A = this chain, B = another copy of it.
Amino acid sequence: MYQRKRRLKVEAYVDGVLNGDKIILSKAITLVESTLESDHLIAEQVIEKILPHTGNSVRIGITGVPGVGKSTFIESFGKLVTSFNNKLAVLAIDPSSQRSKGSILGDKTRMSNLAIDPLAYIRPSAAGSSLGGVSTKTRETMLLCEAAGYNVIFIETVGVGQSETTVKGMVDFFLLLMLAGAGDELQGIKKGIMEMADAIAITKADGDNKAKCQRAQREYKNALHLFPPSENGWYPNVLTCSAIDNHGLMAIWEEIEKYSKEMKKNNFFFSNRQFQNVEWMHDIILYSLKQKFYSNKKIANSIITLEKDIKNKKIPAISAARNLLKEYQQT
Q: Does A286 contact B277, Cβ atoms closer than 8 Å?
A: no
A229 nearest CB neighbor, chain B only? B187
Which residues on the B side are within 8 Å of A1 (C-beta)? none
| Chain B residues with CB below 8 A from A222, complex form | 219, 222-223
- Residues of chain B within 8 A (CB-CB) of A223 are 222-223, 226
Binds B, one of A13-21, A254-262, A287-295: A287-295
Residues of A at under 8 Å CB distance from B?
44, 47-48, 51-52, 54-55, 131-132, 136, 139-140, 143, 183-189, 191-192, 194-195, 219-220, 222-223, 225-228, 230, 274, 277-278, 280-282, 284-286, 288-290, 293, 306-307, 310-311, 313, 315-322, 324-325
A-B residue pairs, 6 tightest by C-beta: A284-B321, A280-B317, A281-B317, A191-B195, A289-B289, A274-B311
A267 nearest CB across to chain B (Å) = 13
Q: Other than A191-B230, A223-B226, give 11 A-B pairs with Cβ distance below 8 A.
A: A44-B316, A47-B318, A132-B318, A132-B321, A140-B316, A186-B228, A278-B307, A280-B317, A284-B317, A289-B290, A289-B293
Cβ distance A144 to chain B, nearest Cβ, rounded Å:
11
CB of A187 within 8 A of CB of B228, answer yes
Identify A311's interface contact among B51, B131, B278, B316, CB under 8 A: B278
- Contact partners of A274 in chain B: CB under 8 A: 310-311
- Find out whether the CB atom of B290 lies under 8 angstroms from the CB atom of A286: yes
Interface SS majority for chain A: helix
- A164 to chain B minimum Cβ distance, whole angstroms, is 13
CB-based contact B219/A277 at 8 Å: no
CB nearest to A45 among chain B residues: B319
Q: Given the complex, which residues of B lie within 8 Å of A227, measured CB to CB?
A: 186, 191, 194
Determine the distance from Cα of A281 to Cα of B194 in the docked complex, in whole angstroms.
Answer: 30
How far does the Cβ of A125 sit from chain B's closest Cβ, in whole Å? 19
| Shortest distance between the CB of A37 and any CB in chain B (Å) | 11
